[in-house]
Structure 1
Amino acid sequence: MERSPLEAIELEMTILSRRLTSISTYKKYGILDHSAYLLLHQIASNGSAGVKALADEFHLDISTISRQASALEQKGYVFRVPDPQDGRAYTLQMTELGAEALKSDTEVRRDKFAQLLQDFNEAEREQLGRLLQKLNDAVFRVM
């Protein structure tokens, strides 16, 4: 029996989600966990950021981002810069150690994806990248 495109997408996304969860649970690539990698990547891409802006970007509670940021700070990957207008607020800036950790993890992750996508030609890789970005944008809009 042939599946409709939506049936195939639903099933394949569910399988992919399960496999990615399994990989992240049982195998660690690099030194950064998922949340640390994304927070550092966001700061590296957009410059220093406040906890509220990061919470908005990732659609997470401020308390969740604050807890993750504290873990990054304890590891020496970021430091707080007080907001001169609001003594309670601060932005996070990446340290050299954080930049090195992000660079190292990015290389490890890209090497892993190169292995996973070795049977894909460059056009297929470009198409997959565009479609994944489009899917991520769609998910973001419904959050």
Structure 2
Amino acid sequence: MNEHSLETIELEMAVLVRRINSLTSDFRRLDRSAYLLLHQLSIEEASGVKTLANNLKLDISTVSRQTAALEQKGFVSKVPDPQDGRSHFYQITDLGSKELIEYRQERLDKMVTLLNGWSDEECQSFGDLLKKFNDALMRN
């Protein structure tokens, strides 16, 4: 990899993060952490704090705080662990699913606007490269 390419990627990633944060501040209903936690719970039956923390690359105390906030809003509920009565799992509620779906649609609508004029091939390549980059981040 040449140095110019690396410098371009580094700068464009910094710009992307700033612009994404600015863009998503318009979506007041869920913050990024709530969105990602609800998404994770939507693809799993139920999950414990440790599993969520591992899957999201966060520490357990952060996930505990975030899930408690989601529970207060009625977006997740605690269910007892059938194998260990002392612990519990979180699962997404109907209200949490509804909120996730509506929020995701807002984000998708914004993506449609941002990607207007891009070909299907460009969108596919961009998505594939973003996924590859995110996968590399998860391994580190």
| Unaligned stretches of 5+ residues in structure 1 | none
- Structure 1 stretches of 4+ with a deviation exceeding 3 A read none
Would you say the 8 A contact 1:30–1:108 is kept in 2?
A: no
C-alpha distance in 2 between matches for 1:8 and 1:105: 32
The aligned residue for residue 10 of structure 1 is 10
RMSD: 1.4
Mapped pair 1:19 → 2:2: no
Report the AA paired with residue 21 of structure 2.
T
Q: 2:37 aligns with which of 35, 39, 49?
A: 39
C-alpha distance in 1 between matches for 2:67 and 2:42: 14
Sequence identity of aligned pairs in percent? 49
| Unaligned stretches of 5+ residues in structure 2 | none
By how many angstroms is 1:30 displaced?
5.4
C-alpha distance in 2 between matches for 1:23 and 1:113: 11
Report the AA paired with residue 52 of structure 2.
L
C-alpha distance in 2 between matches for 1:98 and 1:59: 22
By how many angstroms is 1:15 displaced?
1.1
Tell which deviates more after alignment, 133-142 or 7-16: 7-16
C-alpha distance in 1 between matches for 2:30 and 2:79: 23
Paired residues, number: 138
Would you say the 8 A contact 1:37–1:102 is kept in 2?
A: yes
